[in-house]
Structure 1
Amino acid sequence: MNLGYDYERTEIRSGMKITWQIPLCMDDGVVLRADLFQPVEGPAVPVIMSYGCYAKGQAFQEAYASQWQSMVEEFPEIETGSSNAYQCWELTDPERWVPHGYAVLRVDSRGAGWSEGIQDLWSERETLDYRACIEWAGEQSWCDGNVGLLGISYYAANQWLVAATQPRHLKAIIPWEGASDCYRELYYHGGIRCTFLDSWLPRQVPMQYGQGERSRRHPITGEPCAGPVTLDPDELAARRVDKRSDVKAHPLSDDYYSRVVTDFDAVQVPLLSSANWGGQGLHLRGNIEAYGRSASRDKYLEIHGLEHWTHFYTDYGLDLQKRFFDRYLKGNLAAWENQPPVLLQVRHVDGFRARAENEWPLARTQWTSWHLDADGGFSAASGAQVGTMSFGPDDDGLTFVSEPLSADMEITGPLSAKLFVSSASGDADLYVVLRLFDPQGQEVAFRGAMDAYTPIAQGWLRLSHRELDTALSRPYRPVLRHERRLPTAPGEIVQAEVEIWPTSLVVPAGYRLACSIRGRDYEYQGQVDPARQARHRYPSKGCGPFLHNDPDDAADPALWGPVTLHVGPDYPSSLLLPVIPPR
């Protein structure tokens, strides 16, 4: 433990009572640091809390300048009613909550920002710390005993895990776009390693505790955002777990992941799970799975679009957050009165339309099999012609295209693919992509959470990982066990069920649906608008940073032979689409 001198101090600023760098001592002696924003005077209030690795003192406008500028240009409301001096990446603005009768507590996670210790991202140790911080906050004189959790991405994913430990003072959570199963949603998609970690982890090193004078400065206090000490790079490396190496060493869903997979039966706190249709590759599945499987009696699902962070800050998102917490942290029943269990921003080619629903998947769904035909067609009519088509792991694969739709058709819900395939080499990686083409034959792609040009939906499967969890699987949502490999004999025809992450789109009449079956990541081939691209930190080629290009993961020669897709009456390769009839 290295407290140094006491960095904690309190001041009145911007109409708030702010206490900087509060020390929180964990059970093993490691000291975490927190910043507290609260009303200047008055009774104890509920606390909105966050715990994460992005450094609580790092300004959104500086660290993520392009994203901030693009967001406020489209939604200028975000800059009104606040000085925005306390905006932090993927965290709420205290100036919008303290006047509303809340305190905001930001905790740097272990080994990040101003918090000491060995940094072990997405770990059981972080969950234990988070629980301790919640219980500490709930017992302070400035808290009325009610703690709520709020934040995006990392600040959301860890909410599921800590909620399952059932802290006494935790009364409500809003996980805004946060994964709930690290193996299936972050590290391995369908058993294929996602290299998001490889691009994301280096971006977190400048926020590790010990970067000190090398880190950005807090815009208010002038302190380094990554701690009061400056350590050399070798010592910094020794103070963080090599998560990438750990994940690569555990390609199956073994005990290594068991402590960071949410126990949904233990999640009983009221929750508002907020997802993003464009979150292909991270978070979308987690929010929807957690909503459906959590044991909470008071649970709500909201699904929107646009970028990963945008609606968290807009008036639309802020209104949802305030009304939910007013109900479950303050007991204001009227604030959440008549709120539907499910609120969908249904996607159209020209925007979104809000619609209330009662359940997920929607009870009126017409589950419809769209078949992949030997002539390259894609339709609800069962193909009578037997055929085989082959593709390699490096080419563009196979694309099946529908006739122009005769009427508008809504697809909203989870999807799945049933494919009959054989591999010449004994294994294969399958990428299933649902796409849209306009009447002129141009592909229509959508603004996604982390990419400006996403297709309608995507799914992934390594053929040797095709074993299903029969207890959890449904026809519309196959769940894979990932506990062992089931290789095939060269040329052996097997049935593979592919989970395709949920989606929503009203397909206009005259447009065509298409399904691509590939051996590598989808890539958008249309013209890219630089202004649209500027909203994101990664190249907009259709998948953002959620790529599957680890050469070690693909080194097995069994993955590099041609793959044959079989279609026809005996091999009904198809996609199950959630067609929603008009009300």
Structure 2
Amino acid sequence: MKSAHSSWETPDPGYWTKQGYIIVRTDERGSGQSPGLLDTMSRGTSEAFFDVVEWCSEQPWSTGKVGLLGISYFAGTQWRVAARKPKGLAAIIPWEGMSDYYRDRVRHGGILSDRFIDFWWKNGVQPNQYGMPGRAARKWGRDTIEGDLDKATLEQNRRNQTLDTVTHKFRDEDYYKTRDYSPEDITTPLLSVANWGGILLHLRGNVLGWMRASSEHKFLHFIVGRHDLPFYYAHCARLQRSFFDCFLKGNDEDGWKSGKQPRVKLCLREGDAGVDDPERELLFPHREEIDWPIPDTTYTKYYLTAEQQLSTTSQSNVTSFAYDAMEGKPLCFTHKTSARLEITGHIVAHLTVSASRSKADASPPSDIDLFVTLRKLDQSGNEVYFTGTMGDPVPITKGWLRMSLRKTNATNPGHHKYLPYRDYFSTDVEKIAENEHYEVDVEIWPTNVVLESGQSLVFEVAGHDTQGVGKFSHEHPEDRKPEDFAGINSIHIGGNHSFITLPVIARG
């Protein structure tokens, strides 16, 4: 569903104009042909987006109703402008788009996800800055109409995200506060489309943005596949059009307002569709639900055992497993199923952890970074991979936590037994003491997977990135200083010390 006028991650004019829609693309402030300060995801860009929406609604060729549609950045910006309630905004479709700049994109559990930020900035943003010389020669669109800018002016006219995200660590800093907003302010009809494979960027934001939005008409769909493909599938374009036909044109043949459409629609990852194989992925079954999290979810504890298994029964004997924080092999705990097991929803890992120096003359660690992963193995013990954002093989899902930012805020409405809420404020920092035991809840990103009898679920704990992280790794030397983290980490098990809580759906 792409034409000659299509561009990356945006709706295709070749399709939409034939359906009676006008497509407006705008270069964000400081990029392309728009002068100004280049400062992505900032308050200024949201204010400019607000003006664009209102301008569109006032044009003589406009019905007065505006819809927003796009993938990734062009989805993430929708949440922010919708919360500002611009005149004319009638519907939004954030398709694979984060809603929380700090938690979804920059700092997973407080840990800087630097590699993708660096990749995105250097390959997608800075080369397109307003006034950047040589764009046409590099096939980055036309050169700036008003002429090139010199190096000093270009540097003055941008906020470098690769530097800002290293410097700014906490949500109570102005850098994040000025980017923050309340999803509860969103009342616009919305269709949030989350990709189960987006386990390091957009998945969480699509789900939590939907959960927090106050819209009367809001829908949550889950898909699979490479980040840039499903948006353009014919059946997905029809879905988008149906939603906009209802809320922009008043044509509700498909029942978005009447209740005919499901509030939540799942793609069930049952079986093995391979990696980056669209034809096989389209064979995954779907199921409709009335809400999210699924109301009849059975939250089930699986305890870590001395045999490195996962058991629904806790053990009385207490022991521990240790690993090197910076380079050690991950610890793995396995549950082999004896019957079909569906896991759909939010997962929490409740762990008892400690840290110690690796040798007597070393300095004791003052912090722990926890990297946790869920994996699926087939009956032969081979891992079943899923399609990640860039078509890469990924596990079921992942989660993270920096122990010095472990403090939760149980008074926040977003805090649930299945989803711990953290402010990540500078005032929350609590360093750890050597050999002290700490109990902590680690948020694991929402997921779906179905295991058949004889297949296995693996829970993995490490002090660093493991397979499946792709271009979203956490490895910045300023954020992961050996003097803070190097040493031996231990997971303590037995009794109620360490377990994961899985959202089990007991249906056939």
Normalising by structure 2, report the TM-score.
Answer: 0.91
Question: CA deviation digits over 1:92-142, x for unaligned, max 9?
Answer: 111111121111100010111111112111100000000001111100000
Counterpart amino acid of 2:390? Answer: M
- Contact 1:217 1:224 (8 Å CA) reproduced: no
Q: After TM superposition, give the deviation of residue 226 of structure 1 in Å.
A: 5.4
Q: After TM superposition, give the deviation of residue 419 of structure 1 in Å.
A: 0.2
Q: After TM superposition, give the deviation of residue 330 of structure 1 in Å.
A: 0.7
Rounded Cα–Cα distance in structure 1 between residues aligned with 2:318 and 2:504: 27
- Contact 2:30 2:37 (8 Å CA) reproduced: yes
Q: Which residue of 1 aligns with 2:405?
A: 465
Question: CA deviation digits over 1:39-83, x for unaligned, max 9?
Answer: xxxxxxxxxxxxxxxxxxxxxxxxxxxxxxxxxxxxxxx35xxxx
- Contact 2:37 2:158 (8 Å CA) reproduced: yes
Q: Which residue of 2 aligns with 1:499?
A: 443
Q: Which residue of 2 aligns with 1:567?
A: 493
- Classify 1:482/1:141 alpha carbon distance in 2 versus 1 (closer, same or farther; 3 Å): same
Correspondence 1:155-194 to 2 at 5 A: 155-194=74-113
Unmatched 5+ stretches in structure 2: 274-280, 357-364
- Classify 1:390/1:298 alpha carbon distance in 2 versus 1 (closer, same or farther; 3 Å): same
Q: Which residue of 1 aligns with 2:13?
A: 94
- Contact 1:217 1:225 (8 Å CA) reproduced: no
Correspondence 1:136-285 to 2 at 5 A: 136-195=55-114, 196-203=116-123, 204-215=125-136, 224=142, 227=145, 229-254=147-172, 255-285=174-204
- Contact 2:65 2:248 (8 Å CA) reproduced: yes
Question: CA deviation digits over 1:255-281, x for unaligned, max 9?
Answer: 321232231121111000111101111
Rounded Cα–Cα distance in structure 2 between residues aligned with 1:270 and 1:238: 39
Q: After TM superposition, give the deviation of residue 564 of structure 1 in Å.
A: 1.0
**Deviating more after overlay: 357-366 vs 474-483:** 474-483
Identity of aligned residues (%): 38
Of 543, 557, 575 in structure 1, the residue corresponding to residue 469 of structure 2 is 543
Q: CA RMSD in A?
A: 1.7
Of 243, 255, 261 in structure 2, the residue corresponding to residue 336 of structure 1 is 255
**Deviating more after overlay: 298-307 vs 549-558:** 549-558
Q: After TM superposition, give the deviation of residue 433 of structure 1 in Å.
A: 0.5
**Deviating more after overlay: 153-162 vs 238-247:** 238-247
Q: After TM superposition, give the deviation of residue 510 of structure 1 in Å.
A: 1.3
- Contact 1:209 1:227 (8 Å CA) reproduced: no
- Classify 1:123/1:454 alpha carbon distance in 2 versus 1 (closer, same or farther; 3 Å): same
- Contact 2:400 2:443 (8 Å CA) reproduced: yes
Rounded Cα–Cα distance in structure 2 between residues aligned with 1:413 and 1:451: 23
Rounded Cα–Cα distance in structure 1 between residues aligned with 2:20 and 2:246: 13
Counterpart amino acid of 1:475? Answer: K
- Contact 1:212 1:224 (8 Å CA) reproduced: no
Q: After TM superposition, give the deviation of residue 509 of structure 1 in Å.
A: 1.5
- Contact 1:371 1:378 (8 Å CA) reproduced: yes
Correspondence 1:319-334 to 2 at 5 A: 319-334=238-253
SS at match of 1:336: coil
Counterpart amino acid of 1:344? Answer: L
Q: Are 2:224 and 1:305 equivalent residues in the alignment? A: yes
Q: Are 2:416 and 1:474 equivalent residues in the alignment? A: yes
Rounded Cα–Cα distance in structure 2 between residues aligned with 1:273 and 1:263: 16
Q: Which residue of 1 aligns with 2:276?
A: none
Q: Which residue of 2 aligns with 1:65?
A: none
Rounded Cα–Cα distance in structure 2 between residues aligned with 1:578 and 1:106: 41
Q: Which residue of 2 aligns with 1:110?
A: 29
- Contact 1:395 1:519 (8 Å CA) reproduced: yes
Counterpart amino acid of 1:231? Answer: L
Counterpart amino acid of 1:469? Answer: N
Of 397, 404, 422 in structure 1, the residue corresponding to residue 330 of structure 2 is 397
- Classify 1:293/1:216 alpha carbon distance in 2 versus 1 (closer, same or farther; 3 Å): farther
- Classify 1:347/1:121 alpha carbon distance in 2 versus 1 (closer, same or farther; 3 Å): same
Normalising by structure 1, report the TM-score.
Answer: 0.80
Rounded Cα–Cα distance in structure 2 between residues aligned with 1:546 and 1:358: 33
Q: Are 2:425 and 1:485 equivalent residues in the alignment? A: no
Question: CA deviation digits over 1:139-195, x for unaligned, max 9?
Answer: 000001000101011111111111111111111100111111111111100011111
Rounded Cα–Cα distance in structure 2 between residues aligned with 1:476 and 1:208: 42
Rounded Cα–Cα distance in structure 2 between residues aligned with 1:377 and 1:137: 58
Q: After TM superposition, give the deviation of residue 437 of structure 1 in Å.
A: 1.3
Q: Are 2:307 and 1:375 equivalent residues in the alignment? A: yes
SS at match of 1:108: coil
SS at match of 1:105: coil
Q: After TM superposition, give the deviation of residue 426 of structure 1 in Å.
A: 3.0
Counterpart amino acid of 2:416? Answer: R
Q: Are 2:52 and 1:124 equivalent residues in the alignment? A: no
- Contact 1:385 1:569 (8 Å CA) reproduced: yes
SS at match of 1:252: coil
Rounded Cα–Cα distance in structure 2 between residues aligned with 1:469 and 1:490: 25
SS at match of 2:175: helix
Q: After TM superposition, give the deviation of residue 317 of structure 1 in Å.
A: 1.3
Q: Which residue of 2 aligns with 1:408?
A: 340
Tell me the number of residue pairs that the alignment of Structure 1 and Structure 2 aligns.
479
**Deviating more after overlay: 361-370 vs 205-214:** 205-214
Rounded Cα–Cα distance in structure 2 between residues aligned with 1:457 and 1:389: 23
Question: CA deviation digits over 1:299-352, x for unaligned, max 9?
Answer: 000110111121110012111100000011111122335110001111122342
Q: Are 2:484 and 1:558 equivalent residues in the alignment? A: yes
Rounded Cα–Cα distance in structure 2 between residues aligned with 1:316 and 1:570: 47
Counterpart amino acid of 1:341? Answer: R
- Contact 1:451 1:543 (8 Å CA) reproduced: no
- Contact 1:163 1:269 (8 Å CA) reproduced: yes
- Classify 1:437/1:485 alpha carbon distance in 2 versus 1 (closer, same or farther; 3 Å): same
Rounded Cα–Cα distance in structure 2 between residues aligned with 1:462 and 1:190: 6
- Contact 2:314 2:496 (8 Å CA) reproduced: no
